[in-house]
Each structure stands twice: as structure tokens, then as C-alpha cells.
Chains A and B, each alone.
Chain A
Amino acid sequence: MLDEVFRAEWGRVLAALVGVLGDIELAEDVAQEAFVTAAERWPKDGVPANPAGWLVVTARNRAIDRIRRDRTHAQKIEELRWLTGETTEEAVDVETTFPDERLELIFTCCHPALAPESQVALTLRTLGGLSTEEIARGFLVPFETMSKRLTRAKHKIRDAGIPFAVPPDHLLPERLDAVLAVIYLIFNEGWGGGRVDLASEAIRLGRALVELMPDEAEALGLMALMLLNDSRRAARFMEGELVLLDDQDRSLWDETQIVEGRALLARALALQGNGPFVIQAAIADLHMEQPRDWREIALLYEMLFRHTESPIVEMNRAVAVAETDGPEAALEVLDTLSLDDYRYYHSTRADFLRRLRRNAEARIAYARALALTQTDPERRFLEGRLLELAPRTREDWDEFWTYTLSELKERVERKAAEGELGD
């Protein structure tokens, strides 16, 4: 219960303190102290009527104590008093208010002058309230590395003068894109691995963003996309095995998330949203219909490609093309793409080849995907497909060797051209 309150209030409390202190590190220290004090007192004295107000006042007082030791900061102390008026901890009531500056904090943490991995870590720490240890675990990075990354980022914000502000209009679209990208990155990290529940963290952050910017279609689109994808979480794996969309048990889909996701998508569309996240949410929505409208899906991928020019989007369009125009046409689309290091490119290609009964080629493509895959369920899925395609007859074997040898030859030639084999 206490944990819930802490997680819910951390971002707002911290943001308000950064607002006056102008220093994330100091704000974090005093906020941390306030939360520790709360953890000691609340179980005995009861949770105050206005937990966030209590935490801000307590943290503010800690900050004043600290700054008082340093006489040069008289003005800071005055500003800190203003933060919540002359209220003492005991006198905090539901009327005690302080500004919500989470939006300023998000834009600071996702400033493009910070490296993307720092943006992600800092956002999870300051707005998500995750501990350094949890973030390190989430990204499979040693604690020391993550701790250094966070400290460095906080120092850069302070020393380089990265503003604590919502960007002016002419910078806003670009900066908002950066914020959305950070949240989506956190979400996808959580989906692929399933370690610390980063997907839920991303949804929590997205929810805050939508609350703060209710008329930004792309923010709504991102939130809808995350909810629609996350709604299938329970159905994606069965006894540890990957289950493809068409084979999923729909009764396991989270209806509440779907309803909320669709409502957000409708709002985004009503706001004339047609940015990449709105399009992706619309695609996710169509994928969940039965039967799927592949023609519409292909069209949306085409729109999305115009925004992103990403070959992965083209690859996804090819999947839709395989349904409308057949796997042969889809293979033609795939062959124009250079995605040789992308595991899903090879598994998608393998699937088209399998449907065309070009088993030997499919086998090689599955083997390539297998070599690139990183998670066990995906590995087992691909191994299963490989087993199904195992050569059985004499002809199968002949074909298998012909392709395997030509494939090997091609690979050796490519490596030699890249100079990796020496002589």
C-alpha cells in the first residue's frame, strides 16, 4: 500500500523540488529522505490526508536545512518557502498545493543533448521512481555502470544548463518525439525480455504524459499502441512457448486494456492525428480484428513508411502483401530490403518460402533467424519450424544440399569481400 503511494507520488514530488532547486541530484536526495521518513511514520501515525503535499513539505524542509549551511543560498531558501507556503509537516492538509512540473521534468530527462540510454535511465529514475538497481536489472547492465550513467546525466543537466522547461512551440514537435521515443523504447525493452516489468513502467509514464498533454494526438497514439500490444501479453506465451497472433487464446486478452486503447485511438483520430504512433496504433487495432483487413493494414504500413522510411516497416507491409497478393509478391518486396542482421527479416522470409513450399530455402532462412535470436521461446519456436521442414525424401535431401552449399559459398564470398577471412 505504502509502496503504491510512493510510486504514484514520486514523480510529482521530485518534479516540484527540481523546479525550485534547479538540481536533480539534490532534489532526489531530499525527496528520498522524505520518503524514508514517511515509511517510518505513516505506518504508526497513519497516511496523511494529502500524502503528496506532506512529502513535498518534508522534502522542502530537508532542502532548507541543507542549504542553510551554505549562506550564499538565501534566495533559494525564499523560493523553497514559496513552494508550499509556510506550511509545516503537521499542518499539511488537502488544501496544500504545489505545481505539477512533471512535464518540465520529462522534457529535461529526454533532452537530445543526453545520450538515448541516459534519457531512458533518467526518465525511469526520476518519473518512474525505479531504483538504480531495478533499472540496471531491467537493462541487464551492471549496477555500477547504471549508477555512473545516471550520475553523469544529472551532472550534465546541471553543468551544461539543460533547461527545466516545456520547450517553446518551434521546438516542441521534435522534443515531444524524443519523449515518445524514450517511452516506447522502455515499453519494447519490457516486451521482448520480460525481466523487470518495464512494459508496465512505460504504460505508467505514457498515462502521465497523456494526462499532462491531453490534446497531443501522438501521445494518445503511443498510449493506445502500448495498451493494445500489452493487452495480448498473457496470450503471447503458452507454457513458455511463443504463440503467434492467430493461434492466441483470445479469452486471455485483456479486455479493459483493449477498450481503453481503442478509446484513446479514437480520440487521437478525432484530433486529426496521422503521425507514426497513431498509425501504428491503428495497425495494432486492425490486427486484433477477425478476419483481419490486410488491404487496409498494407495501406497503413505504406503511410507509416512515408514517415519513418524504415525497412522494417516495409517488411511488415510485405507480411500484409503476402495475405492480399500471395507470398510470391511479398518475397519481391522483401528482396529489395537490406535487413540481413534483423532476425525477424529472416523468419518472415522463411515463412513466405515455407508457404511456397520452397523448403530448402525456408530452412536456411529459419537457420539464419535462429542464429540471430536472443530469447529462448523464439529459439524454440524457430527450432520447431526447422524440425517440421527437415528433409525426408531423397529429393528433399538433394535440394537441401544444393541450397546449403550455394548458401555457404555465397557466405564465404561475402566474408572474403568484407575482408574478414584474410587469406
Chain B
Amino acid sequence: MKYALLIYNREGCTSKEMTDDERRRFVEVVDEVLARPNVGPWVRLGETESATTVRQGERGTFLTDGPFVDSKEFIAGLIVVDAANLDQALAVAAELQELRTGGAIEVRPMREARPSED
């Protein structure tokens, strides 16, 4: 079963707060996790400031500058994990979250069927 680990950050709470040692350790673990055969694909997202949102208006679609949800919390990335059950996916999330300085990781099961196959 595949799970998406949604990596949430909080505004103003970045890895810059880490000491060099902490940062080295964090990068090591992330690299190790991402290299596992049951992990991936993964995605790192650019700043929310760089986002453009396509919305539905009365006369077709239109664009707005910035993310859809205007919030202090935002998704910074996504990691796909193939796991036998929720506990295994949660364990990977806990491994990563333990080393982060804030934010949270939301674990959601992925639906692999296309909408047409539902």
C-alpha cells in the first residue's frame, strides 16, 4: 500500500534554526530514507511565494498570485512510501519528524486507481 507523507512547514520556522551538527545529521537521515527501495518518488516544493493558483470564476478560470490556502502552515514537500500498513508508514514519518525543528508530517493513504476506475 502506498502512502503520501505530506511535509508541512510553518512560516518562519526553517532549517536555518538548526545547528551545523543538527543539519548534517538531518541531511544524512533524509538521504538515507530517500535512498530506500520502498521510498519515492519524492518532491520538494518551491516557496509558497512562487505559487500561482488557477481558480474557477463566473467567466472561466482566472489566476491569483500565491497559494490556494493562505495560511502560516504550508506543504513543503511530499514523499511516497510503500508500506505494508499504516504503522510502517508512520514509523518513517516519525524518523523524519524527530529531526525536524517544527512543522508536522501528515500521512495519507494514496489511491492508485484513476477516477475513471473508481
Which A residues lie at the B interface, using CB under 8 A? 111, 113, 159-163, 165, 167, 171
Contacts and interface: CB of A to CB of B under 8 A. Distances in A.
A160 B87 contact: no
A113 B107 CA distance: 10
B86 interface: yes
Contacts of A163: 84-87
Contacts of A160: 86, 108-109
Nearest to A111: B86
A348 B84 CA distance: 51
A161 B109 contact: yes
A159 B84 CA distance: 13
A165 B3 CA distance: 19
Interface in B68-117: 83-87, 89-90, 108-109
B3 to A, nearest CB: 8
Interface in B46-65: none
A161 B1 contact: yes
* Most chain A CB within a 10 A radius of its CB, from B85, B86, B108: B86
Interface string B1-22: 1010000000000000000000
B118 to A, nearest CB: 13
B85 A113 contact: no
Contacts of A159: 109
Nearest to B83: A161
A171 B85 CA distance: 14
A145 to B, nearest CB: 25
21 contacts: A111-B86, A113-B86, A113-B90, A160-B108, A160-B109, A161-B1, A161-B83, A161-B84, A161-B85, A161-B86, A161-B89, A161-B109, A162-B85, A162-B87, A163-B84, A163-B85, A163-B86, A163-B87, A165-B85, A167-B87, A171-B87
A161 B89 CA distance: 10
A93 B87 CA distance: 38
A172 B46 CA distance: 39
Given A162-B85, A167-B87, 18 more contacts: A111-B86, A159-B109, A160-B86, A160-B108, A160-B109, A161-B1, A161-B3, A161-B83, A161-B84, A161-B89, A161-B109, A162-B87, A163-B84, A163-B85, A163-B86, A163-B87, A165-B85, A171-B87
A82 B83 CA distance: 27
Contacts of A161: 1, 3, 83-86, 89, 109
A111, A161, A163, A171: most-surrounded residue (chain B CB, <10 A): A161
B109 to A, nearest CB: 5
A111 B90 CA distance: 12
A159 B85 CA distance: 10
Nearest to A164: B85
A38 B31 CA distance: 58
Contacts of B83: 161
Contacts of A111: 86
A161 B1 CA distance: 8
A220 B105 CA distance: 36
